[in-house]
Amino acid sequence: MTPPAETDLRCAARSRFMHRLTRARLTLAALALLVLCWGWLPDFSVVLLCHIALYALVALGLVLLTGIGGMTSFGQAAFVGIGAYATAWVCTAPAPVQWLAGAVGMAGLPWVGLALGLALTTVLAWGLGAVTLRLSGHYLPLCTIAWGLSLYYLFGNMSFLGGQTGITGVPPLVLGGLSLAAPRAIGLLIWALLLLALWLLHNLLDSRAGRAIRALKGARVMAESMGVDTARYRIRLFVLAALLAALSGWLYAHLQRFVSPTPFNLHIGIEYLFMAVVGGAGHLGGAVLGATLITLLKEKLQDWLPSLLGSSGNFELIVFGLLMVLVLQRFADGLWPMLERLGQRCLRRAAPRAMHPAANPAALTALTQRTLPPPGTVLLQARNITKRFGGLLANDAVSMDVRAGQVHALIGPNGAGKSSFFNIISGLDEASAGDLQLMGQAMRRQPARAFARLGLARSFQHVRLLGQRSVLENVALGAHLRARGGWLMAMLRLDRAQEAALLAEAQRQIERCGLAAHADAPVASLALGQQRIVEIARALAGQPALLLLDEPAAGLRHLEKQALAQLLRQLRAEGLGLVVVEHDMEFVMQLADHITVLDFGCVIAEGNALQVQRNPQVLAAYLGG
Ligand SMILES: Nc1ncnc2c1ncn2[C@@H]1O[C@H](COP(=O)(O)OP(=O)(O)OP(=O)(O)O)[C@@H](O)[C@H]1O
C-alpha cells in the first residue's frame, strides 16, 4: 500500500475544519441580519416567515426520515395535528383548565399542552413505527397515508375536540411573564426553535449515530454487520420526525389561537413531503429552502394568477403541480445541493488555516480496545452447516475451524456455495441446519450485529458503502461499536472527544490501507478495487479478532494485490484470524495457511496450498474433470 502522505492528510483535515468554521460564521451572520430586520418587517411578512419556519420544522423531520433515513411518510400532518390539538384542548377544555390552572397557573397551561402533545406523539409514533416500519417498498408510504387519514378524521369526529369546527380561544404563549400574542413576538420563538432544531440535528448527523442513520437508506445489511441495531434506529428516527411535527403543531396553535382539522389533512402531508424533496431531501438546509420556496410560490401564485387569467379558481394548484414536476425533473436531489456547491466555491476562497482534531492520534484512547486471543485459539467453529434455498442445496454439512493468527481460504468454482457459507458465518443468513460457535458462543439465530460485537468484521462481495459520503466517514462507521455516545449526547455535542477518536481511528486505518490521499473523497469517486480496500479499512476500524474478506483482490492491479497480500500477512502476524474467499489462485496460494475447497456445496478438499493443488478432486472441479 502507498505510504501516507502527511501533508495531504493535514491539508484535508484543515479544509474540513475550516469549511465548518466558515459555514458557522456565515450562519451567524445570516441570523444577526434576520434579528436586525425583524422589527422593521411588515406584519404580513412576519406572519409569512412564521409559517415558513413552522413548515420547515415538519420538513426537517421529513428530511431526516425520508431523505436521509429512506422512509417515506405522507402522514406527518397528523402529528402536527396532535401537537396542536393537545395544547388547544388542555388550554380550553373546562375540566383540565380548572384542575391544572390551580397547579401551574393559566400561563403554564400551554407548556402542559406541549408536554401532553409530545408524550402522545411519542407513544403513537412508537406504536405506529413498530408496526409499519417493518414494511418496505411501497407498503410503508401506503401505511403512512392510512394512518394520516385515520388521525385526520379522528380530529374531525371527536366532539370534545370541536368536530369539524375545531377549537377557538387558544390562549397566547407567555414566556418569562412576557405575552407572545403578537406574531412578531411568537415568531422569534418559532425561529429560535427552528434554528435550535437545525443545530441539534446537524450535530446528530455529524456523529457516530449520524453515520449509522445515513446507512439506514439502502445499506441496512451493511449497517447491521457494523453493529448497528437498524430496527431501533428506524423507530427512533420516526419518533424524532413526529416530535418535530408535534412541536410545529403546538407553535401553530398558539400563533393562530385556533385549531381545526383542515391544516392536518393528507393534502398538507403531501405538501410537507414536497417541501423536503424540492428543497433537497438529503440536506437539513433543504427543509428550510423547500418550506420557503413553496410557501412563497403558493402565496405569489394566489396573487398573480387571478389577475393574469382574469378569473378566480384553484389555478394556483395546477400551476404549482406543473412547476413541481419541472423542478424535480431538473433537480432530482432538490435545490439545496446546487446552493451548497455555489457556497463551497466561496468558502474555499475564504478558508484560513488551522488544525482538525481528527489529526490527533492521542484521541484514540477514548475508544474501547479489544484484547486479541492468543494465536492458535479457535475463533470460529462451524459444524455441518447446511443451507437450502427451496430445493437447492447451497451448503451440505460444511465444517471448518478458523484460528487466530491464521489465513483460512475458502475456494471453489462459481456457484460452489462460498458466499452462502460466508453469509451464514457472519450472521447475515440463517443456516438450515448445523452449529456455529464464535469465540466459544453459540450463534444460532443471532443477528449480524451480535457477530460484530464478538469481534467479527467482514467485507462484501458486492461492495456496500455509502457512495456519497467520504472515505473517512465510511471507515469510521466500522468503529461504531467501539464508542458509546447516544443521540442526545451527539445532539448536544457532548460526544466530541469520542468523535475525534473515531475519526482518528478511521484515518489511521485509511493510512494503513494506503488510501490516505482519498480520505476526504466521496467513496463513489474511487475505482472498484479501491472501494474494496475501503471496506477492509472499515472492517479494521472495528478492531476485529476475526476478519472475513469476500473476494478482496477482485479489481486490483498486480502491485495493489501484492500490497494487499502484505497487509493481510501483517494482520495475521498481529494475531487476527482471516477467512478469505477468492478466485485469484496465485493470491490465495501465496497467502493461505489452510484452504477449504467447496464444490456443489460440499467440502471436497482441505489442507495447505500444496495438498490442495495436488488433490485430483480439486483439479477435476476446476478443470471440469
Ligand atoms: N438467495 C438465494 N436464493 C436462491 N438460491 C441462491 C441464493 N443465494 C445463492 N443461491 C444459489 O446457491 C448456490 C451457491 O451460491 P453462492 O453464491 O453461495 O456460490 P459462490 O460459490 O459464492 O459463487 P460465486 O463464486 O459465483 O460467487 C448457487 O446455485 C446460487 O444460485
pLDDT in tens, 425-473: 999 999 999 999 999 999 988 999 999 999 999 999 889 999 989 999 9
Looking at residue 200, what is its pLDDT?
Answer: 97
- In angstroms, the Cα distances linking 325 to 81, 148, 274, 322 are 28, 24, 10, 5
Distance from Cα 382 to the centre of ligand 1, integer Å: 19
Cβ of 389 closer than 6 Å to ligand 1, yes or no, is yes
> How many angstroms separate the alpha carbon of residue 419 from the centre of ligand 1?
7
Å from CA of 416 to ligand 1 middle: 7
pLDDT of residue 410: 94
Residue 412 near ligand 1, beta carbon < 6 Å? yes
Spatial CA neighbour of 327 closest among 275, 389, 261, 362: 275
Q: Give the residue, out of 389, 422, 580, 584, with the most ligand 1 atoms within 8 A of its beta carbon, to mutate for a pocket test.
A: 389
Confidence of residue 16 (pLDDT cuts 50, 70, 90): low
Pairing assessment for the beta strands 594-599 and 602-607 based on DSSP bridges: antiparallel
Residue nearest to atom 24 of ligand 1 (CA): 414
| Closest ligand 1 atom number to CA of residue 423 | 18
CA atoms within 13 A on the CB side of 526: 29
Residues, the chain: 625
Report the alpha-carbon distance of residue 398 to residue 388 in Å, rounded.
12
Mean pLDDT along residues 75-82? 95
How many angstroms separate the CA atoms of 39 and 50, rounded? 14
Whether 3 has a pLDDT exceeding 60, the answer reads no
Phi then psi for residue 435, to 5 deg, are -120, 145
Q: Residue 141: is its pLDDT beyond 70? A: yes
Is the C-beta atom of 430 inside 6 A of ligand 1? no
pLDDT classification of 504: cutoffs 50, 70, 90: very high
Give one DSSP letter per residue of 400-422, joined into a string. EEEETT-EEEEE-STTSSHHHHH
Please give the model's pTM, rounded to 2 decimal places.
Answer: 0.87
316-375: pLDDT as tens digits: 777 778 887 888 788 888 889 888 888 777 766 554 443 444 445 555 567 888 888 999
pLDDT at 339: 86
Q: Is 621 in the pocket of ligand 1 (CB under 6 A)?
A: no
Ligand 1 pocket member 414 (CB < 6 A): yes
Give the residue-averaged pLDDT of 260-280.
Answer: 91
For ligand 1, whether the C-beta of 387 sits within 6 Å is no
Bridge partner residues of 435 (DSSP): 383
Verify whether ligand 1 is closer than 6 Å to residue 415 (CB atom): yes
Q: How far is the CA of 394 from the centre of ligand 1 (A)?
A: 6
Query: What is the pLDDT confidence band of residue 258, given thresholds at 50, 70 and 90?
Result: very high
Q: What is the pLDDT of residues 162-174, one digit of tens each?
A: 888 999 999 999 9
With a 6 Å cutoff on the Cβ, whether 531 touches ligand 1 is no
Share of the chain above pLDDT 90, in %: 61
Q: Judge residue 244's burial from the number of C-beta atoms within 10 Å of its C-beta, 0-12 exposed, 13-18 middle, 19 or more buried.
A: buried
pLDDT of amino acid 471: 96
Across 558-579, average pLDDT: 92
**Looking at residue 490, what is its pLDDT?**
94
Question: 393: CA distance to ligand 1 center in Å?
Answer: 10
**Cα–Cα distance, 202 to 199 (Å, whole number):** 5
Return the H-helix or E-strand segment holding 326: helix 315-330
* Cβ of residue 7 lying under 6 Å from some atom of ligand 1: no
Average pLDDT of the chain is: 88
Separation between Cα atoms, residue 216 and residue 234, nearest integer Å: 7
Identify the structural domains of the chain with CATH numbers, from first to last. Answer: 45-291 (no CATH), 378-623 (3.40.50.300)
pLDDT for the residue numbered 5: 45
554-562: average pLDDT: 87
Helix pair 284-309, 43-62: axis angle to 10 deg: 130
Answer with the residue of higher pLDDT: 297 or 83: 83
> Is this prediction's ipTM beyond 0.90?
yes
- Beta strand 441-442 with 602-607: parallel, antiparallel or unpaired? unpaired
